[in-house]
Structure 1
């Protein structure tokens, strides 16, 4: 059976949950920032995987490690030399000099060696044939890279959007993509769409978006961003299809006023994380913010139930204060009270996502309507 391996991004829990959602029947084993599985995907489908590849060899670490590793590498390169005339190898410094000679002997003509370093996207863009030698427990894994997340694409898309701002408080596009991948549904409703970044991030993986917000000015920005993103995505060679979207002004707490049938949509939204504290918030400030969130989401979830929306993926704020996290623990009881059930991600009902030097993080949850 083939084995595949993926490098997890900075929020490992979210990447694991995303992979599990994309590959529901896949077996997975997570160790040291790597996810190993029997299922292959291109990491560019995801928002949380960095790169991935095939495990083409395994060498047990013992007194014969070097000999066995070089034999395995020589055998693999020789068998695939027609495709490996140009080759990059990421390997520890102790093996670097000898592996260069080995690769030449096996038939590779142009060889790039990275000592104690992993290839970045620039390395991958210049050369698609990379072999990594990675230590996992008592083995060295020989990995042939097959896909690498196109960070350049995301950076350019973000910076070129008509209405974009890289400041803290604007949802990261790759986080938005990960949220979208937590549902199989191709029809998405974002009732707190803001500038439309969720739709921008998922134009190639979803069929349609319904986008609403209470702020009319946000909708104008949203429409401009989505139209630009449609054009930007169409430049990718592997892009297929034409995403549909509709926008309208609406308070997410009163969806029963909406004539449109939303029952076939899944709600996916960043939500509203409240005040972005530039300094560590006080206990009183946190309690006030969580009280606002509780009231808001009571109304939104009740409104979603009224429209028979069966699945809701959203974010609540959590607060990082002196090394201790304050979580919105009210959501478990609140969801059940309204008639929704929280989905578990690797044993927990939430995923925590945050960046360094932020006081407010994303508390990611998914609820499904109970029958």
Structure 2
């Protein structure tokens, strides 16, 4: 076991919940970081599956002052430098003004030590500090400079109430992968509320069982542009999706088809040979499982005619597109649709209502509740009748004047409870700075 640190995302509550769901470990939160005892290799293996964690690493020491941190880092770098090879080092200071006060001095001390000016000749090592403009590195720079590889390092310094913790990164989020899935997909529509890819990934991770295992399949009943499905595919999961709107179904199909091709052709170019082998194995398994799925012999047409044999054109569709279909989430499932979502975990968000640019009042909230509450109540009623496992779903809430909030989630929880759909975790709120409409993430299980 190692003492591990995790840098939490901007919405710390939901990042912490993702950690617990993935690793089933209690953590201590300090200065925007979570600390816990975990096997190092387990963290390295699962890190790229996370959506709300910026970086993770091993704590190597705790010091009362920064001078002790500086000395510890220099000694560690000296021991781990490879003879005849320049060591690349990145520095991350986990405080708002950290670089001006601490980072520049640490950078100079490392360079000075590498030259042996203050230490014996045995301490000499070749080093390049890759930070620029006196600030922390972004994730792209960490991966471009290969700081996570043996012989290089990103040192992380974390301010604590009683001093400092310092350590070395073993995982840094590949933010560029999330951006590529979001920005490069062929169909985007900013007028349609789109769940952020990282939030979609977090919600998928919240469907894990007590052992930290993901479900075999996820189903998004309001698939929209397919963001949840893309994140599920990126984890190697089977996916299913539906939407009441034909253009949303078509958009999801185009985006998922694009992503499958993109993974096969484009993203592999930036991978190490080990990563390529792991990704290839995962995608081959995904393909085998969905091709072998006995329910894929059926096709659902746009009028919900069930159990019809696929047309010649439909047979040409890639195998994973056949589980994306038109459906009103408030209506009953047809037999073939039931089969497509059988034993799935439900992940998604529905319509969030009217767009507001300033805090809402009581009357505006009342109108939104009258419009949205019946839809969500009927959705829960229909999904409760299906053979699904967990439900992790985002419902809207609103910011009012004087930081008052409006939400009907408690009413939905009470309604779901009567259906045998039980709340298993306290709802978590997610809202971006400056927005008035947020998302309240609720986790249910069928009992």
TM-score greater than 0.5 by the shorter chain: yes
Q: Does 1:36 align with 2:47?
A: no
- Contact map agreement 1:88 1:130 (CA 8 A) in 2: yes
Distance 2:347 2:247 in 1: 21
Cα deviation for residue 222 of structure 1 reads 0.7
- Contact map agreement 1:343 1:368 (CA 8 A) in 2: yes
Q: Encode CA deviations 1:260-308: one digit per residue, 9 max, x unaligned.
A: 3334111111222122223433322212222333212221122112113
- Contact map agreement 2:223 2:348 (CA 8 A) in 1: yes
**Residues 287-306 of structure 1 correspond to what in structure 2 (within 5 A)?**
287-306=366-385
Equivalent residue in structure 1 for 2:283, among 237, 241, 258: 241
Equivalent in the alignment of 1:126? 144
Equivalent residue in structure 1 for 2:188, among 160, 164, 167: 164
Equivalent residue in structure 2 for 1:330, among 411, 418, 430: 411
**Residues 10-25 of structure 1 correspond to what in structure 2 (within 5 A)?**
10-24=10-24
Change (3 A) 1:77 1:95: closer
C-alpha RMSD of matched pairs (Å): 2.3
- Which secondary structure does the structure 2 equivalent of 1:74 belong to? helix
- Contact map agreement 2:51 2:199 (CA 8 A) in 1: yes
Equivalent in the alignment of 1:178? 202
Instruction: Identify unmatched segments of 5+ residues in structure 1.
Output: none
Distance 1:214 1:69 in 2: 57
Distance 1:90 1:281 in 2: 40
Distance 1:278 1:355 in 2: 13
Distance 1:311 1:134 in 2: 36
- Which secondary structure does the structure 2 equivalent of 1:254 belong to? coil
Cα deviation for residue 146 of structure 1 reads 1.7
Q: Encode CA deviations 1:316-335: one digit per residue, 9 max, x unaligned.
A: 10001232221223122122
Change (3 A) 1:290 1:84: farther
Equivalent in the alignment of 1:230? 260
Equivalent in the alignment of 1:109? 126
- Contact map agreement 1:90 1:119 (CA 8 A) in 2: yes
Deviates more, 1:252-261 or 1:263-272: 252-261
Distance 1:126 1:218 in 2: 36
Q: Does 1:255 align with 2:352?
A: no
Q: Encode CA deviations 1:37-60: one digit per residue, 9 max, x unaligned.
A: 222245321111111111122223
Distance 2:5 2:192 in 1: 32
Give the length in aligned residue pairs. Answer: 361
**Residues 35-184 of structure 1 correspond to what in structure 2 (within 5 A)?**
35-39=34-38, 40-41=43-44, 42-61=46-65, 66=67, 68-82=68-82, 85-90=87-92, 92=102, 93-105=104-116, 106-112=123-129, 114=131, 117-127=135-145, 128=147, 129-166=153-190, 169-184=193-208
Cα deviation for residue 172 of structure 1 reads 1.1
- Contact map agreement 2:90 2:155 (CA 8 A) in 1: yes
Distance 1:256 1:173 in 2: 27
Deviates more, 1:216-225 or 1:226-235: 226-235
Question: TM-score scaled to structure 1, two decimals?
Answer: 0.89
Q: Which structure dedicates a bigger proportion of its chain to strand?
A: 1
Instruction: Identify unmatched segments of 5+ residues in structure 2.
Output: 94-101, 117-122, 148-152, 209-214, 291-319
Cα deviation for residue 104 of structure 1 reads 4.2
